[in-house]
Amino acid sequence: MTTLEGVVPFPPEFAARYREKGYWEDATMGHFFDEIVSKSLERVAFLSGDERVTYRQLAQKVDRLALHLLKLGVQPLDRFVMQLPNGAEFVYLYFALQKV
C-alpha cells in the first residue's frame, strides 16, 4: 500500500473492519467507474444544461482526457486542486484524474 506524504492513513483496525463488512472493496475509483459504465452504456449519466451525456460518452471523454493528462506528465499519486463550476468539465476531469 502506498502512503502519500502528509496523509494520515486510517488505523489498521478500522481498515480491517471496513473490509470485513464489505464497505471497502480495495478497488480504485477508476475500476469502480469502469464497472458502473459497462453496465449502463446507453443510459444518461448526467445532464449539463441542455446537454445529455450517456455513460458511453462519459467514458470516452474521461478515457481520452486521462490519456492526455498522462501524456502531459501527470503521474499516479500527483495531487490536484480542482476549481471548476459544477458542470460536465468537472465530472470529466475528476474521473480522468481518478483513472490516472
- The total number of structural domains in the chain stands at 1
Please indicate, yes or no, if residue 77 is contained in any of the structural domains: yes
Write the CATH number for 42.
3.40.50.980
Please indicate, yes or no, if residue 85 is contained in any of the structural domains: yes
Please indicate, yes or no, if residue 76 is contained in any of the structural domains: yes
Q: For the chain, what is the mean pLDDT?
A: 92
Please indicate, yes or no, if residue 69 is contained in any of the structural domains: yes
pLDDT for 33: 92
Please indicate, yes or no, if residue 14 is contained in any of the structural domains: no
Task: Find the Cα–Cα–Cα–Cα dihedral 81, 85, 86, 88, rounded to 10°.
Answer: -90
Which structural domain, as residue segments, surrounds residue 37? 26-99
The C-alpha atoms of residue 51 and residue 47 are separated, in whole angstroms, by 6
**Which residues, 6+ apart, have CB-to-CB distance to 89 below 8 Å?**
none
Please indicate, yes or no, if residue 80 is contained in any of the structural domains: yes
Please indicate, yes or no, if residue 17 is contained in any of the structural domains: no
What the block records as the C-alpha cell of 62 is: 474521461
Tell me the β-bridge partners of 11. Answer: none
Please indicate, yes or no, if residue 56 is contained in any of the structural domains: yes
The whole-model pTM stands at 0.82
pLDDT for 87: 87
The dihedrals phi and psi of 76, each to the nearest 5 degrees, come to -55, 140
Mean pLDDT of 24-29: 88
Q: Which amino acid, one-letter code, is at 89?
A: E
Q: Which amino acid, one-letter code, is at 1?
A: M
Per-residue pLDDT reduced to its tens digit, 65-93: 999 999 999 999 899 999 988 889 999 99
CA distances from 25 to 7, 11, 40, 76, 93 (A): 20, 17, 21, 20, 23
